[in-house]
Structure 1
């Protein structure tokens, strides 16, 4: 049987990567190795093996090989938030002061990595046969890796898989400190190393596993309008001054799709997207603290922004955009979409309050509401398409999906759809093509 004792004795000496010892799966594997080393102790090897098997089966990490344990350990190394990874990911951080400790830790972790699930399985059987002989014991279950889910994976996922394979193939991990530092600097660590899109929910930044895959080349027409958003974003990514944006227009005109498509176009250049619900805007200072000292550049995305007369969150947004005492970091911008040009509902009553015994300086309240939209540096207007533009969008989407209908027939069907369904908009054109694609597939299947 393999001698696991040197690994068990070395692990408590981890320095920079010490957080890995707190991981539940790592703890269960160590517990099982201890049970194998002392099979007559308080922990039965069958019990500890079952725990390891169950916890590995529950992991959601994308597999790079059939060995779930080795894959999990590589995931922990790439995700670990420690002084070394944080220094590499922080602008101006000096990670080199930790290189000696990283060399030490990687040598220890490589020894742990070299213990495969097959080794664990074989050692467990050997211990059971020697210490707990049973004539009719059922076979110990062997780990079999599940097939990874089908579908296109993100570029970040693919780069992560590539880095794990490089680690797995390396003969000496202690020589990879510089390579790991470059990975952390480029792709981040912790939650920032696993996701490119995020949501701020109840005071917590949460990663989005599968962001909307929409791309700029999948958006038709509105080219000049969309170019304003693209140009501002590219300035931002290159470290030049850029503006907060308000994307205004009728529903379904592609405002939100444009912002989400920016992420898929520019994530590899360091762009990240954080969706912030309107009700969470008072958490702005907490959000900024999460993002301020990172190398990535973040767009705070506030979708479908508008306020009713009695809502006061717009004051938090005003301070966020301009006028708060805290400086907005240079790696954060705000892009908001709205169907309402002035964002805040304004009534005629607002204008006549001073004539009806209401507020004495009523126009001050009106101006406070109207000034919110002015805080955005650029307002980009997405108008409702005319009939010809709508038809071009519908035909373009249908051709992109390879639907086998002549353009003239597509135009006729799309026009009929706009008259009887949701009017003319890019969203309505996409809904028409979705329905048409499904209808043709059913007909071909029948």
Structure 2
């Protein structure tokens, strides 16, 4: 049987991975091992076992060869934000100075990992028998491997599972230090190695479990227009100078879909995306502090950007694009979409001079508003499609979904849809195909 006392006594010797000791599950397991070894402690083993069981019931994403407790410990190791994992993820940092400490910590953590859920369960049953009449055995619930978490949560899941299985199936973890370094260097640590898409919310990066799955190959039409955006993004991914982009056009022309499709196309090359609401643009300096020292390339995505006459957030965006005192890192670009060419609402009253109570130098205010759009390096215009382009998009989407209708009938129905509903746009074409697919499925069911 594992010497629980030895494990308890070596854990405080962790150096780089000390954060793991603060985890609620780890603290509960240590508390339970204390209860098993002292037998005279303040905590009854049945009580401490119940606490661990309750916490582990909420974990998921198991890997082959690990039980619920062991799997949780592997997750903590991969997620841990520490000087070693941060250095591996940062460009140009030397991680070799951490290797002796990492090998030491991994040896300690492997001993903790070897204390399996089944072994803890058996030790608990044995400890509780002393509280029961002879011959009786406590009917404790057994820890089981939890149901797999949603595999769609992240496209990074396969790589994550692979490194976990390497750890689960290797006894000498200190020899896996190089593989762990490579994992952190490629995928990051903390929230970065679990998600490809993020949202800036309440002063922190929130991972998006299910980002839009739209791909560039799913988008029909606007090929020449999208080539400009793809070319700029490829320059960015190859560490060459690239521009912030403003995607301008009428509603439903595919601006946002194009930006989101870039992530699905290039995430494996290190592209990541952070959605930033307009109201939080003033927190730009905090966002770039999170992103600056990483190997990933980030697009800050500001969707449906425009400002009303009395809003002043456009000044924050101007500083963000160019002119702020803090230098914008090379691994961050801004892609914004808008239905308004100059972004800030301008009225004829803005151009009227010498009105009582109005600013004397009104054209200075007008130029300040108009200069915002000019600070984007490239403006890409998405025009409303003509009738033939709209019909080609609708027919192309129907063919992608293999809808069994003749092309001429598809064109006639799509044209009727554009007249009766939301006009001609790629969005309207997609809504038509959604409706048609559902209608045909209902007819087949009937």
TM-score tier, shorter chain, comes to over 0.9
What's the TM-score, normalizing by structure 2? 0.96
The two structures have a TM-score, normalised by structure 1, of: 0.96
Q: State how far apart, in whole Å, the 1-side matches of 2:385 and 2:201 are.
A: 35
Counterparts of 1:40-439 in structure 2, within 5 Å, are 40-59=40-59, 61-65=60-64, 67-133=67-133, 139-148=139-148, 152=152, 154-354=154-354, 358-439=358-439
Deviations 1:326-363 (A, max 9, x none): 11111111000000000000000000133556221111
1:234-281 CA-partner distances (Å, limit 9, x unpaired): 100110000000000001111111111111111111111011100001
Distance (whole Å) between structure 2 residues aligned to residue 34 and residue 405 of structure 1: 70
| CA apart distance, 1:41 | 2.1
Question: Does structure 1 retain, via aligned residues, the 8 Å contact 2:128–2:138?
Answer: no
User: Any idea what SS the aligned residue of 2:181 has?
Assistant: helix
CA distance in 1, matches of 2:109, 2:244: 45
Moved over 6 A (4+): 134-138
Which structure 2 residue ranges, 5 or more long, are not aligned?
none
Residue in structure 1 matched with residue 11 of structure 2 by the alignment: 11
SS in structure 2 of the partner of residue 122 of structure 1: helix
Aligned-pair CA distance for 1:153: 5.6
Distance of 1:281 and 1:436 partners within structure 2: 40
State the 1:31 CA deviation.
1.0
Give the deviation of 1:135 after TM superposition.
Answer: 7.0
**C-alpha contact 1:2 1:123 (8 A) present in aligned 2:** no
* Secondary structure of 1:200's aligned partner: strand
Q: CA deviation at 1:422?
A: 1.2
Moved more, 396-405 or 188-197: 396-405
| Equivalent position SS for 1:94 | coil
> Structure 1, residues 385-404: CA drift from partner, whole Å, max 9, x if none?
11121122122222222222
Counterpart-to-counterpart distance in 2, 1:152 and 1:52: 28
For the Cα contact (< 8 Å) 2:125–2:137, is it kept in 1?
no
Distance 1:401 1:120, change over 3 A: farther
Partner secondary structure for residue 58 of structure 1: coil
1 CA distance for matches of 2:193 and 2:274?
A: 14
Q: Structure 1 residues 355, 243: closer, same or farther in 2, change over 3 A?
A: same
Q: Secondary structure at the match of 2:325?
A: coil
Kept in 1: contact 2:248–2:379 (CA 8 A): yes
> Partners of 1:192 and 1:378 in 2: how far apart?
29
Does structure 2 retain, via aligned residues, the 8 Å contact 1:39–1:131? no
Distance in 2 between the 1:400 and 1:153 partners?
A: 25
Please report how far the alpha carbon of residue 152 of structure 1 lies from its aligned counterpart in structure 2 after TM superposition: 4.4
- SS in structure 1 at match of 2:103: helix
Rounded Cα–Cα distance in structure 2 between residues aligned with 1:176 and 1:230:
38
Bigger Cα displacement from structure 2, 294-303 vs 119-128 = 119-128
Is the CA contact 1:233–1:242 (under 8 Å) kept in the aligned structure 2?
Answer: yes
Q: Alpha-carbon deviation of 1:71? A: 1.1
Partners of 1:440 and 1:134 lie apart in 2 by 69
Number of matched pairs: 445
Shifted more, 387-396 versus 269-278: the winner is 387-396
Shift of 1:439: 2.1
Does the CA contact (< 8 Å) of 2:25 and 2:56 recur in 1?
Answer: yes
TM superposition shift of 1:190: 0.9
201-210 vs 406-415, greater mean Cα deviation: 406-415
Report Cα offsets for 1:290-330 as digits up to 9, x if no partner: 11111111111110000000000000100110111211111
State the shift of 1:147 in Å. 3.1
Change (3 A) 1:376 1:275: same
- Residue 138 of structure 1 deviates from its aligned partner by 6.2
Distance 1:132 1:16 in 2: 43
Contact 1:88/1:185 (CA < 8 Å) preserved in 2? yes
